[in-house]
Structure 1
């Protein structure tokens, strides 16, 4: 038996990793044969027979299978995944994990062949890993990025983070570029050491946020348009409701039904009507667009909706889950147009308890498209302005005119106050978080940043939608039907301890129990904190102690809403889980087809995790795009003095929040104190000269923005002149090197 055979047998029979010396000893290799052993080890590695870990220890994994797919590399370039066994209909897939050492020349999105191995020396959960054995096709031949100075060399820096960890070398220019120009490059060759690129085109020497947003959205594979394969189905979508299904529906067209939404809303998926009954109770009707009637299981539109999972709401546009013919057309509850709906009709008593719930399929004809601003204005003045509805024929009608609309809105307010009080008594947690709102100029550039004013009408719609979601969830649970629950588990104890440290630093005196905490106890703590300090950042820190809400086939309750049973029913135009709930209601409740129960149960459990991931991905995309737009705004504020509140302390500095609820970093390097270190509770940055404490205010100057990553950097006003002097000196050195190159 030769050394190679002995080596493989030795490692394959071992459940442990082995060092070079351990292998030499185990195989009785004499020192004069070490070179031969080294050569055999290298040969076996090249043929994927053995592997070496980060500690230079060897092991022989078990080969499992070979798969093919596109490699998705992480933003830091340290690992990647390749998806395989993809089932788009069920939205399921397998993924194999690949470390950087096993990329073997692959770059992001390449079509690769991957060998999957099982490492028997590791824990069971971590055993499978992948190795790129072949690059079948390079999928990227062009990149967008900047011409940058790296030391004494001119370099290319791509916008897309997934390509940033590669090393680049500019080998040609079709168009002359200067330092910091945004350029398009062509990938000429990929070597072991560098990606060789040539500059094809200078896009701009003046950074354009729209281009960065476009590059970012492409990098995270946000769908831009609906695939051509949907066209045949979209073309069949009617513009008006059909007569065939009318007889099976309740006729609500003679009710005073309205929608209440934001000024810019185009897709109206919920409408309401409130009537005060003779017995003193309230009849709340929540009518939701009957999307499941038009988007059927097995259709291509449904497949695409499942893949997207949710609409993505960017500051200046929407990337919809459904084609416009549905979202803004036949499914949108536009005023004075008949629409099919699924309705949750609830009788609610004066204490806020639901006496009776009925779920029906119906037809409505919304009488008014109201905005939050209009309804808030009405509640302030008790006046409905004719100019709001100058072309609406209902305004002067007896049944739906001003008097009846005013009466309905006031009764809706009465009911909302009752529902809100009921939820607060149960432990509903009202954080009242203010969020930044971006205002645009006509050319699409950022004009200003303010924050959303939240009025009573916004709370009213939230109260009504929460109650409808609760009642639908209770109905399905009570009948032992499957449901895709919206679950929210109790707060994380470690985060609660961290938050308690923040409160202590701020001098806020409140008992924060750790352990068996309930929504009622939790909401009470919030009120006690507000009595002492009502800072916005404290609310945000408290919110971060909470777990993320997710979708599940199991009912685990919703801590934040103090709901024992909760689902999403009210937004099927923009959320796939709501569409699933509608399907369950249609098949099991309305059609009474119990034979579908098992199929729907499987659907719920198969898509819950994917929908949770889709939602979280959408949130991250919305935040990132906002950050890019914030950086555009602050680009024009460089040199401006602003008052900021320290809201977070980190190892490398601290973050400040401005009046418009946006944040910026003050890096430790600009604070002129080498002794600065965070304390154990991460509530202070302390040094020999200064102490920076969370919650305190500081005057800072906007010093720099990163338009690619959407980051804003500030310098304390007292250090700004020194910062400028250092910056001028550094730029002179860089320009000198650039001219040389």
Structure 2
């Protein structure tokens, strides 16, 4: 059969514009594979030699514009980011703006201020890639703000006759917020205020806002602590209507309710908590059984008996997701009537609990366990210091029970480390604070045996509850549950840690079994204990680890060396624990599995809020450090280099662990370059090096409370 003749008009040579359109369409259809120019030319009907050469030239242009990638010699692949990308807008402390794409957190794209479209830090945006100039970093332009991350900002008011500005402490906005006089809400110059942006006209230099709340005079303790919370989008006061709802809950436990529960009221039970704690959400009981085993009860406040799913209190707790602990205060997840009264396991009061009860031998082997709703009556409220004294002296109230629990806890801990758990016992900085909130001293809080006693039994309860739901016979599917997961360390970060510690004479394994790697990390942490580089190496080791988060997909907890782990033991201060209590009840009662996607969203919210709370806590510590050092300007201290950046050195004072910055401009004896891989600054002419971990002498130059920043000078 004769071939059909090609119509004469189709032989017309394609012009460049047609070829470009055809190639664009080709790559939009074929995003995953790589092609050479001949394959592309054939597909789009570019048949003449001239057309094929034109295709090759267009591909080279597209490569320059980052639309396609040349993955190997002569083979091109669609740059799946395309010409338009979606992701997160970031303003860095260096003054530069960057765009972080969804599909590649490492690949940051520079956004000039003129191309930012008034995007704010954390906004979700759509950008268009700009033509890349040779030798320059990739650059983009914001074409759409998809979602504002933040519309409320904290700063200090500067009030003029007919208008005001909110001047912000941190440069998360390029410009101060303009506030019309009738939007001031009673604020005056010098007030710390929370302001909401209402509009940002396209051609206006400043956004326009209104004062939501006046937090108090800048510099006053309450105003500054509230400002830190507001800065992270965290609540700083409890809604009255929620507290009123909590006040309606009766405090009488009915006989009918007690009859449904296992009764521990006559079994020796006590709490061990920090000195200043008011919310006692866990208690331990101990008794010797007739079979020769020890019965250890881990009793957790039964918060979900009082807080029903979807009620006013529950919705507030769900939104907050966690209690927040600042230097001088706790911002509770639940109203105080619940957290400090009804659900607090106070001594000599009948309390409702959810309990994990273990039968153990003298070697802390769990022979049996049960998970029950219970009623208890705590015999004693111990502080950690009181319990520690009993452990050290062998004398005190309930000494037999405390010493036996300590002995069992030590054996549980030993087994955990044998299985590959990692021992990150960090020293915590704490402040002695006077009645006005001013820090008058610094002390360090270390984990002692009493802390570890409580920790081990909480870990055992959390692991057991997770196994109870998650560990199912082969061939059966586990019901949806909330797990606390911790992924394996990042291999690159682990390798960087290995290279860094080598200069101190230490080694770790970066390959091999999970247990072998974690044991070598533990040996490192033991070796550096009480040495000058301890805090530094511990910090870098922690950075090599993944972050622990909540998820319905269980991958185990690497740091604890548990295949199953959850959070069950702190429902007063963590919403995931309340979720776990409810799911336990539902499944024990024979209920069906819940919707995984819905609970995964809830897990993500709780993980995000936990991170915000941790950031706020760090900010409050930083503020108090700067405040503590503000009357020590000009004094010289021994310090250790704790961080190195392209704009200077960070140094931590050995005596009090207050950290400050030595700006690059202070290092004026040479031009210093940042060597990121080797954690050092190196002088171009003298080759002098400042390395992470080096001891130096510093002089306190400046204490800027507004920016929570200490500036140091280097003292040779």
Determine if the TM-score, normalized by the shorter chain, exceeds 0.5.
yes
Match of 1:166 in 2: 175
Matched residue SS, 1:459: helix
CA contact (8 A) 1:631 1:711 kept: yes
Report if the CA contact (8 A) 2:199-2:209 is conserved: no
Q: Distance in 1 between matches of 2:587 and 2:496?
A: 46
SS of structure 2 residue aligned to 1:195: coil
Q: Per the alignment, do residues 618 and 184 of structure 1 end up closer, same or farther by CA in structure 2, a change over 3 Å counting?
A: closer
Preserved contact between residue 580 and residue 604 of structure 1 (Cα < 8 Å): no
Alignment counterpart, residue 651 of structure 1, candidates 622, 625, 646: 646
Give the whole-Å Cα distance in 1 for the aligned partners of 2:709 and 2:286. 46
**The residue matched to 2:285 in structure 1 has which SS?**
strand
Closer, same or farther: CA 682–663 of 1 in aligned 2, 3 Å: farther
Deviation by residue 1:252-306 (Cα, 9 ceiling, x = unmatched): 1001110100011111110001234465543211000001111111212212111
State the 1:717 CA deviation: 2.0
- Which one of 345, 348, 351 corresponds to residue 333 of structure 1? 345
- 1:365 is aligned to 377
Aligned residue among 625, 628, 635 for 1:630: 625
Q: Is the 8 A contact 1:74 1:162 kept in 2?
A: no
Shift of 1:328: 1.0
User: Quick check: 1:376–1:455 contact (8 Å CA) kept in 2?
Assistant: yes
C-alpha displacement of 1:214? 2.5
2:555 aligned counterpart, secondary structure: coil
| Aligned pairs for 1:317-328 within 5 A | 317-328=329-340
Residue from 663, 666, 688 that aligns with 2:662: 666
1:670-689 matched pairs, under 5 angstroms: 670-679=666-675, 681-687=677-683, 688-689=685-686
After superposition, give the CA deviation of every residue in 1:123-175 in whole Å (9 maximum; x if it has no partner). xxxx9x9736999xx9879952579xxxxxxx977225476311679999xxx
Match of 2:607 in 1: 612
**Contact kept in structure 2, 1:653 and 1:668, CA below 8 Å:** yes
Choose the corresponding residue for 1:131, options 138, 144, 155: 144
Q: TM-score, normalising length from structure 1?
A: 0.71
1:190 shift after superposition? 6.8
The aligned residue for residue 264 of structure 1 is 276
d(CA) in 2 for partners of 1:585 and 1:337? 26
Separation of aligned partners in 2, 1:470 and 1:60 = 45
Hey, what does 1:459 align to over in structure 2? 452
Distance apart, 1:512 and its partner CA: 2.4
Which residue number corresponds to residue 246 of structure 1?
258
Task: Provide, for residues 549-592 of structure 1, a one-character-per-residue CA deviation record: whole Å limited to 9, x for no partner.
Answer: 11111210111001111111100111111111101111211xx2
Q: Please give the secondary structure, in 2, of the residue aligned with 1:339.
A: strand
* Higher-RCO chain (CA-CA 8 Å, sequence separation at least 6): 1
Pairwise mapping of residues 108-127 of structure 1 onto structure 2 (< 5 A)? Answer: none
Offset at 1:189? 10
The 5-angstrom pairing of residues 375-386 of structure 1 reads 375-384=387-396
Q: Secondary structure at the match of 1:506?
A: coil
- Count of residues in Structure 1 that have an aligned counterpart in Structure 2: 605
Kindly provide the CA deviation profile for residues 192-251 of structure 1, in whole angstroms up to 9, marking residues without a partner as x. Answer: 343399999x99998445433333322322112333553563232122323331111011
Q: 1:157 to 1:698 in 2, by over 3 A?
A: farther
> Matched residues in 2 for 1:419 and 1:677: separation?
49
Match of 1:33 in 2: none
- The aligned counterpart of 1:642 is 637
Structure 1 counterpart of 2:510, from 502, 508, 513: 513
The alignment partner of 1:221 has SS state of: coil
Superposition deviation, residue 673 in structure 1: 2.6
| RMSD value, Cα | 4.6
Alignment check: 8 A CA contact 1:699 1:716 kept: yes
Distance 1:495 1:163 in 2: 28
Report the Cα distance in structure 2 between the residues aligned to 1:447 and 1:379, rounded to whole angstroms. 31
1:194 to 200, 205, 218: 205
For the structure 1 residues 196 and 335, does the alpha-carbon distance in structure 2 shift closer, same or farther, using more than 3 Å as the test? closer
Give me the whole-angstrom Cα distance separating, in 1, the residues matched to 2:597 and 2:266. 39
- Comparing 681-690 with 666-675, which one deviates more in the overlay? 681-690
